[in-house]
Structure 1
Amino acid sequence: MPRIPMERSGEMEVFVRVVQEGGFSAAARTLDLTPSAVSKLIARLEARLGVRLLVRTTRALSLTDEGEAYHRAAMRILQEMNDAEQQAAGGAVRGRLRVSASVPFGTMFVAPAVRRFVERNPQVTVDLSLTDDVVDLLAQRTDVAIRVGTLPDSALVARRLGQSRRVICASPDYLAHRGIPLRPEDLADHDCLTFNFRRARSTWPFRRDGDTIEQPVSGSLQLNNGETMRQMALAGAGVARLGLFHVAEHIAAGRLVALLEADNPGDLENISAIYVGGGMVPHRVRMFIDHLVAELRASPLLGAGVA
């Protein structure tokens, strides 16, 4: 019987991480290896297989046809190995799970889901951080991040949790004092609550005669998260544009009034769970995301967007 190379799985993991990270140095940082060690492992793998898997230049890294095929097979094999180990261990979810979510969505949906996940899986510890900052999963060693809106292209894997449209709203007290905007242009005379982070937009979209128009907005308050904006809107500080899931209860109770609904473009923002893929997704990560999907599927505030 031929000798079985015991280093195969390690080489596969390093190769998949190099592809995922787009380079040797980036992969080395996530693997706690030196770039030269990663380079040697890939060279050894290619020598053993007798084919070139990666084409490396000073600016980019790309897969050969053989590399594409090996990458698909390696991801499948590594996931099957991970599943086999979990099954052998009794299928229990264990270990530390780091989760990041925006303040409003995290408060309303993720925190209650985490509590029930921990109740069902007492061998797992969840480290939950709520922030509207965009978290770098690799740099901050985060397993799952919940993001609202359009996702940039990346090597990360996304699973949709739901969808929500946005609504413009203000408190009855504010409207009694400042008047009700009847057209998007009327917002120029109102204090509009805006965000202060770099990716925030300075215009709000509206629909008119079948076209989308952008109305510039401004105000005396700029905020760094949706929860603070909701509280400011409730306190009568100005007009806000927030996810419907975040303010639907207050609108139904009359604490906030929906505005300019006839001009609302009805654009839907996806809510997604983001995680590092590559064929080595930990059992606890996959189980937590499945748990989130099951928890959120029945919510009427998230539309029919749960995948």
Structure 2
Amino acid sequence: MARGEINRSGEMEVFVRVVEQGGFSAAARACRMTPSAVSKLVARLEARLGARLVNRSTRRFLLTAEGCAFYERAARILADIEDAERSAGTGEAPSGRIRLNTSSAYATHILAPILPDFLRLHPAVSLDIVQTDLVVDLMADRTDIAVRAGPMKSSSLVARKLGDTAMMIVGAPDYLARTGMPRTLADIEGHERLGFGYVRAIEGWPLRDGGETVVVPATGRVQASEGEALRRLAIAGIGLARLATFMVRDDIAAGRLVPVLEALNPGDREAFHAVHVGGSGPLPARIRALLDFLAEHGRVG
């Protein structure tokens, strides 16, 4: 059979029915097929996958380990298809689960305060929030929406801008009391500069040096994979950190952190976007609802 002629969703649906009904005969009745046709379909599926999915006898029906794994993934895929079809109608109220990928900083300082309002507006929608500063493959990770910081690279993703934020270097008062407040570019060489443990668009801290901007490496002894961790480390007095203003605004007001080298701040800003995979059809209502809500209430600045 040619690849394009295989009805994968149909095969998945029959196999899932076999598992959930507990056998070929019950699945055949549910699918309005003959037991022989169901058995042949499962056999073809096993041959195509190159794996035995079920061990069968006249009295027993048992899934193999491969069958269990295939059933779980097939059931999720079919549920997603059903949800997409149900929510695709333009007049239907948003419903279903949304997988949202975002940084811990955005989740903590922007998303958490507004999330109760979104859930009240859309009681049939549920959220699966994954927090990471790393860029993920939306399709491979089965992500509906990702909130990303930094410049957008050309891709098949559709982006909606959520504003941009100023950046600043901060340190804890007790750290600065021990090490002294840096006031020149040369002063910063003697300080712990907390950085990110992965490749970023700009590797280091841009600072003004006369009429030019230079990038100072973040070469401290401690690195972290997310901005929120760097914020907590800075508050603990481990070193200086360069973070988005919205992350540290409350800490500065409360005296937990102090702005550092603001006279040398080049005034660069980091953009935030909500991105999703593009396509020819309309977005599911639940995805469209969250994108609209973030564009109105989830902006950074």
TM, length-normalised to structure 2 = 0.69
Matched, 1:222 2:226: no
* Matched residue type, 1:85: G
Counterpart among 37, 40, 60 of residue 4 in structure 2: 37
Cα–Cα, structure 1 residues 184 and 127, in superposed 2: closer, same or farther, change >3 Å? Answer: same
Residue number in structure 2 paired with 1:101: 102
How far off its partner does 1:208 sit?
Answer: 3.1
Q: Which whole-Å CA distance do the structure 2 matches of 1:266 and 1:82 have between them?
A: 47
Q: Is the 8 A contact 2:105 2:227 kept in 1?
A: yes
Counterpart among 281, 295, 298 of residue 296 in structure 1: 298
Cα–Cα, structure 1 residues 208 and 122, in superposed 2: closer, same or farther, change >3 Å? Answer: same
Q: Is the 8 A contact 1:188 1:216 kept in 2?
A: no
Cα–Cα, structure 1 residues 244 and 284, in superposed 2: closer, same or farther, change >3 Å? Answer: same
Matched, 1:188 2:189: yes
Cα–Cα, structure 1 residues 203 and 35, in superposed 2: closer, same or farther, change >3 Å? Answer: farther
Residue number in structure 2 paired with 1:85: 89
- Percent of aligned pairs with the same residue? 42
Q: SS of the counterpart of 1:85?
A: coil
Q: Is the 8 A contact 2:88 2:284 kept in 1?
A: no
Alignment of 1:24-173 (within 5 A): 36-37=3-4, 85-87=89-91, 91-173=92-174
* Matched residue type, 2:93: A
Cα–Cα, structure 1 residues 206 and 109, in superposed 2: closer, same or farther, change >3 Å? Answer: same
* Matched residue type, 1:197: Y
Q: Which whole-Å CA distance do the structure 1 matches of 2:101 and 2:2 have between them?
A: 29
Q: Which whole-Å CA distance do the structure 1 matches of 2:101 and 2:261 have between them?
A: 33
Gaps of 5+ in 2: 6-84
Could you give the per-residue CA deviations for residues 105-136 of structure 1, whole angstroms, max 9, x where no partner exists?
Answer: 11111233333212211111211111112121
* Matched residue type, 1:289: L
Cα–Cα, structure 1 residues 124 and 171, in superposed 2: closer, same or farther, change >3 Å? Answer: same
How far off its partner does 1:35 sit?
Answer: 9.3
Residue number in structure 2 paired with 1:267: 268
Could you give the per-residue CA deviations for residues 184-203 of structure 1, whole angstroms, max 9, x where no partner exists?
Answer: 22211111111111337542
Cα–Cα, structure 1 residues 264 and 199, in superposed 2: closer, same or farther, change >3 Å? Answer: same
How far off its partner does 1:293 sit?
Answer: 1.6
Matched, 1:282 2:284: yes
Q: Is the 8 A contact 2:169 2:242 kept in 1?
A: yes
Q: Which whole-Å CA distance do the structure 2 matches of 1:282 and 1:218 have between them?
A: 45
Q: Which whole-Å CA distance do the structure 2 matches of 1:178 and 1:184 have between them?
A: 15
Q: SS of the counterpart of 2:248?
A: helix
* Matched residue type, 1:285: I
* Matched residue type, 1:292: L
CA-atom RMSD in angstroms: 2.3
Q: SS of the counterpart of 2:220?
A: coil
Q: Is the 8 A contact 1:234 1:256 kept in 2?
A: yes
Q: Is the 8 A contact 1:202 1:218 kept in 2?
A: no
Q: Which whole-Å CA distance do the structure 2 matches of 1:285 and 1:117 have between them?
A: 12
How far off its partner does 1:232 sit?
Answer: 0.7
Q: Is the 8 A contact 2:185 2:209 kept in 1?
A: no
Larger radius of gyration: 2
